[in-house]
Structure 1
Amino acid sequence: MAEQSGAEYLSRALDAYGVTAVFLVPTTLSATLVTMERETGIARIVTHGEKAAAYMADGYARATGRPGICMAQNIGGANLAAGLRDAYLGSSPVIALTGGPYEYSRGRNYYQEIEDFPLFKPVTKSSRQVFDVTRLPDQLDQAFRDATTGQPGPAHLELAGHTGDVVENQSFEAPVPRSGVRRVPAIRIAPEPAAIARAADAIRRARRPVIVAGGGVRASGAGAEVVALAERLGAPIATSLNGKDTVPADHPLAIGIPGLYARASANQILLEADLVLYVGSKTGSQVTLTWQVPPPDTLVVHLDIEPTELGRHYPQTIPIVADARLGLDALRAALSYVDPGGTADWVARARRLGERWSAGLEETAPRDAEPMRPETLVSELGRLLPDNALVVADTGHAGMWTGGYLDLAAADQGYIRAAGSLGWGLPAGIGAQIARPDAQVVVFTGDGGLFYHLAELETAARWNVPLVVVVNDNRSLNQEINPYTVAYGGSLTGRHHELWHFQDLDLAAVANSLGVTGIRVTRARDLEPAIARAVAINGPVLIDVVTDIDAIAPKGTAARATD
């Protein structure tokens, strides 16, 4: 067994685990990065901020299921921790590597030194310190295990030395891990037969069942299984935002997204359900509209890999602890004799409510409206996306518009979205495109989201990352119209514009100045040639789409259908 440095071990181990890129702000783990260049094909992506590095690692992880790696010295540790918030909320397998105080300097007012380690606790599944290189192999392996087993999530290792240099420069004897890609789900957990029997019995008796597919279905690769179960039962099928790409939008049983970022018809259907089967969903406030959709007394079957989520919000819950794919296979086997004709009237009811919602779209957002309505932008985007598109949506209005109005029908189209951090979209899209060169990544964000990490357009240009960034450019943070209207006493007066208006900038010109091809669109009919041009360019493109500043995305309600 040959002696090697900590830097050599870390580089070789990451390569063995299937890592293809790391995201960082220098200076950190310098010797490791040099070893990567000399011995591996791992790309070393230098970003313009630690949060952006974390977001890129997050996009990489969500696009592939493989852990995304981000790095920072201890001076940037707090910023990196802040960037893990979205990965934690989105159950994304990100691994953060940071430096830490030297033993001789700890607590002595060393220049720029603070104890960053506690900041990682609330945004990770595990956070550990490595003081000696002999502990690097087991702690790195455990970080990968923590990130990919059970409900995925971030893990953190603090390596001794401001840049991790203490651990990097120590030498020891240790075998490099055997090659093998680490990814989600690392371990598939089979359901208990008795739990399946109880759930199947309840589902068999339901006359108005609905299935809600969450992010756990996506992580498990169980989209085909959830659709097959819906077809067997004759059950309308909804998705959370995190599970949006698990069910083709044109499937006759698909009803869209319920909850807060919802289609009104999806909420109406869940409000009438007599049983809801949640698969791989936390039943959090967003997908349930603060536990109003469905009502709290609804009978629920909840299949999830994380047992602490089962029954958390709905008292009448039949729990199944399992990997989504294995659990769905077991349910389908147990329900082999169900007659889907028993729910035919219910399926027809769901279809009518969905058609009514769709019919009203042209009335509220005419396609030829000027300035363009975001509903038109997003529905047209869905029509024009290439078959291999992976849509990366920012939070806020970007999540609302794409959640309600973007349809993904092609089998290879995907969707990932921010769990709450505005500005996540651009860096996450860069990470996703680097991870998935086989896909066409399309970022959907607003000008408010773009400005957070605008400098990362230079990163995309420097690495010639061929993503397409579509900007809903309304020159504002117009999601704040309603809160400020209330705060001003019912109408916007005084200098309200100071709180939510931006300058009217040509963002295409800004993109061009940073080495990214910029295209400006002001009319709906110009979207198709702009998208066609963008996907044909071998490099990053930003499409600046000018839209109506007064267009506010509708939030979901708990209003029932009137007929």
Structure 2
Amino acid sequence: MRGYEWLARSLQASGQTHVFFVDAVLRRTLLELERVGVQPVLAHTEKAAVYMADAYGRVSGRPGVVAAQSVGTANLAAGLQDAFLARSPVLALTGHKPIGHQHRNAYQEVAHAPLFAPVTKFAAMVQDAADLPRQFRQAWAAAVAVPPRPVHLDLNGLMGEFVETSETAEPPAALGAWTAPRHRPVAEAAAVRAAAAALRSSQRVAIVAGDGAALSGCGAELLALAEALRAPIATSLGARGLVSTRHALHVGVAGNYSAPPANQVVHAADLVLFVGCDTGDQVTHAWRVPRPGTRVVQVDADPLEFERSYATEVALLGDPKATLAALVAELGTPAREGGFLAEAQALMAGWRRAVAPRLASEAVAIDPARLCAEITRALPGDGILVADTGYSGIWTGTLVEMEPTQTYLRAAGSLGWAFPASLGARLAAPQRKVVCWSGDGALYYHLPELETAKRRGIAVVLVVNNNSGFGQGWPNYLKQAGNRPVAAEQVLRFGPTDFAAVARQFGLKGIRVERPQDIAGALAEALASEETVVVDVATDIDCRAPEPWTP
């Protein structure tokens, strides 16, 4: 069969329901995809298409597939940064002009390999359809192996047409069972015994579970271990909801995007167990939490994560879910004093008392903390919450409560990621409700995807934290400006914009909320809809999100 037939039928056989793209690329393949039941989703920018594929991959476990022609390749590569940082499986397909056109100032052509090198774990050039089956399987396998990350196939032809029209004798590939994480090895028995001994030796153990733990789905095993050790659990932002945020052992997100208790607890520990956690600057508050010299035991499926930031007393190389199960069995029921856990729970209780008035605030303009409380109440038991970066991540990561039956997806750093990502998440899980938290500054990046949502009939609840500016940096910048507040406004303020009215211009429903008592009704109405609804909430830019405790 021809390359376009093979590719379309392989994607269909592998369980893909949607492919995201910006024209003009793989036109024969797109027609064949539609014919075999896989829906092509045309986006308005390559980055938006990538963000859709990114969230699709995170929710489904299969690589989200995104495509662009040769001239759009640089834009597509830029969009892969978030998926790379978040360890998300994405398969990027691009066209490149044929070999005979290379290095000859071909129109709109630049070298592709350097663009993709920092944001992919595997990349290959595909010259014709005979090579496609082997390289497709290799790319898919790489995308879902730990750590899952984007991969890139650069197809011969401006639109990949030379690969599409040449022939292969191989049958279509069915790779749907290859989901992230594809392999689940258990750490060596000797390492498990050594880790159990180390954990028994300390009465002040804190656990920090990261994005790798969330990928592994080890929530039950994590709780079993924490209960045996009477150890508090902190998480990275990406692992929020791995265990119930209301659980007595849970102390919140650690690091830069933290409410105070988590950093205080981890800093006070004598031994920290990192589970699938990358120990980067965000989750460790610039490597200050845990404090220098703290004993560290680390569980990770990626050996490159050991010794990055902390000297590791015991390193357990294995899938977190499988390895924690072995560790719980080895640990048994050790004698524990419980004093450290009591300290952690007291800190958490004090924090909850302190923040409670803001969660019930009747202030106008609206305190975003009240919006968080309303989303906690409104999000369905199997709902998906998608949050943008910056303040959107801090608000939702500290004040929206999550359960393990729900899913929390967050931007790893690309402002504007959340809204297109929420569309991809809904397409990957059409039976689940999706709520997107975006600031107005973030929404301006990909506002045209409202048209995509309308055209493709994708239903998400887009909540806009609308404070007419970049709220995270506003007070400090205003202070820097001194007696020139207008100068600060020129840098960080914009609008005001009524996004509910904008939504109506796109043919969608928009609800403007200016009083806190109206939030619940607006969310209920939006969640009941079968199309995208914009809930535009007028909030106070001077309201500060929780700030991390710093040693």
Q: Distance in 2 between matches of 1:136 and 1:487?
A: 56
The one-letter code matched in structure 2 to 1:463 is: R
* Rounded Cα–Cα distance in structure 2 between residues aligned with 1:118 and 1:14: 27
Matching residue's letter, 1:46 = L
User: Is residue 521–residue 527 contact of structure 1 (8 Å, CA) maintained in 2?
Assistant: yes
What is the alpha-carbon root mean square deviation over aligned residues? 1.5
**Counterpart in 1 of 2:509?**
517
Cα distance in 1 for residues equivalent to 2:37 and 2:177: 15
1:527 corresponds to 2:519:
yes
Partner residue, 1:312: 308
Partner secondary structure for residue 294 of structure 1: coil
Aligned to 2:377: 383
The 5 Å alignment of 1:15-164 reads 15-38=12-35, 40-164=36-160
Quick one: which of 402, 407, 415 aligns to 1:422?
Answer: 415
Equivalent position of 1:438 in the other structure: 431
Gap change, CA 1:178 and 1:83, over 3 Å in 2: closer
1:208 aligns with 2:194: no
1:312-362 CA-to-partner distances (Å, cap 9, x unmatched) read 1112442111001111111101101313xx242222111110011111114
State the alpha-carbon separation in 2 of the partners of residues 388 and 399 from structure 1.
20
Q: Is the 8 A contact 1:16 1:181 kept in 2?
A: no
| Structure 1 residue 363: Cα displacement | 5.2
Which residues in structure 2 correspond to 1:356-505 (within 5 Å)? 356-362=350-356, 367-409=361-403, 411-482=404-475, 484-485=477-478, 487-488=480-481, 493-505=485-497
1:262–1:403 Cα contact (<8 Å) kept:
yes
Q: Percent identity?
A: 43
Give the superposition deviation at 1:485: 4.1
CA distance in 2, matches of 1:548, 1:138: 54
State which of 493, 509, 529 in structure 2 corresponds to 1:537. Answer: 529
Residue correspondences, number: 551
Distance in 2 (CA, whole Å) between partners of 1:100 and 1:214 is 37
Which of 171, 181, 188 pairs up with 1:185? 181
- What SS does structure 1 have at the residue aligned with 2:288? coil
Residue 557 of structure 1 corresponds to 549
After superposition, the C-alpha distances for 1:69-108 in whole angstroms (9 at most, x for unaligned) are 0000011000000000000000000110000121222122
- Taking the aligned partners of 2:486 and 2:529, their CA distance within structure 1 comes to 46
> CA 1:137 to 1:491, structure 2 compared with 1: closer, same or farther past 3 Å?
farther
Provide structure 2 residue ranges, at least 5 long, that are not aligned to the other structure: none
C-alpha separation in 2, matches of 1:395 and 1:10: 34
Aligned twin of 2:540: 548
> What TM-score does the superposition give when structure 1 sets the normalisation length?
0.95
Secondary structure of residue in 1 paired with 2:462:
strand
SS at match of 2:106: coil
- Higher mean alpha-carbon deviation, 265-274 vs 493-502, is at 493-502
Alpha-carbon contact 1:101-1:115 (below 8 Å) kept: no
Distance in 2 between residues matched to 1:371 and 1:483, nearest whole Å: 20
SS of aligned partner of 2:147: coil
Paired with 1:222 and 1:494, the residues of 2 have a C-alpha distance of: 50
User: 2-side partners of 1:97 and 1:431: how far apart?
Assistant: 17
* Greater CA drift, 364-373 or 211-220: 364-373
- Contact residue 124 and residue 153 of structure 2 kept, 8 A: yes
Against the structure 1 CA distance between its residues 222 and 63, is the aligned structure 2 distance closer, same or farther, given a 3 Å change threshold? Answer: same
Contact kept, 8 Å, 2:474 with 2:541, in 1: the verdict is no
Query: Residues 19, 397 of structure 1: CA spacing in aligned structure 2 closer, same or farther, 3 A cutoff?
Result: same
Per-residue Cα deviation, 1:17-70 (whole angstroms, up to 9, x for no partner): 2211100001101111111122x2211000000000000000101112111000
Deviation at 1:391, TM superposition (A): 0.3
* Alignment deviations for residues 476-528 of structure 1 (CA, whole Å, 9 cap, x no partner): 0122225534653x565342211011111111010111122111111111111
1:300 matched residue in structure 2: 296
Kindly report which structure 2 residues correspond to 1:200-239, keeping only aligned pairs within 5 A, or say none.
Answer: 200-239=196-235
Question: In structure 2, what residue type is equivalent to 1:318?
Answer: V
Measure the CA separation in 2 of the matches of 1:211 and 1:287. 12
SS at match of 1:451: helix
Q: TM-score, normalised by structure 2?
A: 0.97
Amino acid at match of 2:461: V
Measure the CA separation in 2 of the matches of 1:491 and 1:279.
Answer: 49
Deviation at 1:177, TM superposition (A): 2.0
Q: Which amino acid aligns with 1:247?
A: V
State the shift of 1:439 in Å.
1.1
Once the two structures are TM-superposed, the CA of residue 181 in structure 1 deviates from its matched residue by 3.1
Check whether the contact 1:210–1:276 (CA below 8 A) recurs between aligned residues. Answer: yes
Q: Does 1:6 align with 2:7?
A: no
How much does 1:380 deviate? Answer: 2.2
